[in-house]
Amino acid sequence: MSPPMSPPKSLQTRLVHSDYTAPDGFAAFPSAIHHASTVLFKNVEAMRARNWQDKSAYTYGLHGTPTSFTLEARLAEIEGGAYCVLAPSGLAAITLVDLALLKSGDDVLLPDNVYNPNRELGNWLQRDFGISARYYDPMIGAQIAGLLLPNTRLVWTEAPGSVTMEVPDIPAICAAAHAAGAVVAIDNTWSGGIAFDAFGHGVDIVMQALTKYQSGGSDVLMGAVITRDVVLHRRIEAAHMRLGFGIGMDDAFLVMRGLPSLKLRFEAHDAGARAVATWMKGRPEIASMLHPAFADCPGHENWKRDFTGAGGLFSVVFDARYTEAQTDRFIDSLALFKIGFSWGGANSLCVPYRVQAMRANWRGAGQLVRFNIGLEDPQDLIADIAQAFASLE
């Protein structure tokens, strides 16, 4: 308790300056939610000595409170990294990496199956910022060496691409990029920080859309950029500060609330998805199963070598005899699967993609439909798909 202020102030002032301070020593499992724009300093000397990069102290709400510092540290630990910065969405985390590492005259390589807003960003940087953005076949492997130019600073990877699901050879891409002096970033959202050790396979920068598995609640948007190298971290942190990328501490709390169950949920999504995919694969309506754990999926061998699990997201290609109108009817006929983007939450989702328009060299004419398997009973999901298949005919 702080000593009472004297002389007594008016009610209006006491409404702002309370005498009461809660006792120290409260302990509980959840981290407290520390909201702050203004952070208070003990005295002018402490204020003058502030350093916004110093994680052993606090300077301003935008640079963090105990809540965001805790979430950063926990995410770095999960990915096996040393540093983490939080961004207001997964896409903001992607933008942060590009703006931290690229300047006019530089070149960035992105996989042709990249998360589409990342492609939009690349195209924007190319059109308006004097940065060239080029796209490579996600299955290129070591041959990416032939695409690396002296000004290629950054190579994006995604493992797997979240619509067409190719699993790239990350160690081969990293080796070639590093030999050419480029940094490798990965959008590691699909494996939730659980099923793929990105740093262990040579990646320099891990990006996560915490919106997905880490949150798990379909109720929060947030992203993270995790690094091991302090020089890279400083560049990302400086861009983060200049861009003013803050996050809300209630949102940080929501993400933290999801972390203890992250692995259990991921494994339940994985088991459910494999059960549904195994059943679908045996059906005549399905031409190919784009699930990394299945042999049809390009890069399946890379997945087997490098990954420890699969999560809930996969796509299927329908037999080419079905038109878009028919597969749209199939999706509309599903009851448990809702139509919507994102994944990692408890509810199963389904989205069609016009992949022939997205990918110049896409082979095959069948309709691509992406499934996110939630936490429902897989047998009920299978029954739902079975009844919806009837609407195809």
Ligand X SMILES: *Cc1c(COP(=O)(O)O)cnc(C)c1O
- Binding characters for ligand X, 282-301, by CB under 6 A (x = yes): --------------------
Show contacts with ligand X in window 173-202 (CB under 6 A): 187, 189
Residue 89 touching ligand X (CB under 6 A): yes
User: Cα separation of 313 and 128, whole Å?
Assistant: 34
221 vs 289 by CB, closer to ligand X: 221
213 vs 294 by CB, closer to ligand X: 213
Residue 223 touching ligand X (CB under 6 A): yes
Choices 16-24, 66-74, 208-216, 232-240; region in contact with ligand X by CB under 6 A: 208-216
Residue in 95, 211, 315, 327 binding ligand X, rule: CB under 6 A:
211
Write down the least CB distance from residue 128 to ligand X, Å.
21
User: Cα separation of 158 and 160, whole Å?
Assistant: 5
Neighbours of 260 (CB within 10 A): 11
210 vs 385 by CB, closer to ligand X: 210
User: Cα separation of 54 and 234, whole Å?
Assistant: 11
User: Cα separation of 322 and 32, whole Å?
Assistant: 53
Chain centre to alpha carbon of residue 216: 12
* Residues constituting the chain: 393
Choices 18-26, 72-80, 83-91, 121-129; region in contact with ligand X by CB under 6 A: 83-91
Instruction: Kindly state the tokens that stand for 279.
Output: 């059943």
Backbone angles phi, psi at 108, to 5 degrees: -125, 140
Contact 211, 344 (CB under 8 A): yes
Instruction: Kindly state the tokens that stand for 52.
Output: 């916004």
Residue in 58, 115, 253, 294 binding ligand X, rule: CB under 6 A:
115
Choices 84-92, 147-155, 347-355, 381-389; region in contact with ligand X by CB under 6 A: 84-92
- Nearest partner of 91 among 219, 198, 221, 218, judged by Cα: 221
Write down the least CB distance from residue 36 to ligand X, Å.
23
Write down the least CB distance from residue 58 to ligand X, Å.
26
User: Cα separation of 22 and 53, whole Å?
Assistant: 29
Give the residues lining the site for ligand X (CB under 6 A): 89-91, 115, 162, 187, 189, 209, 211-212, 221, 223, 342
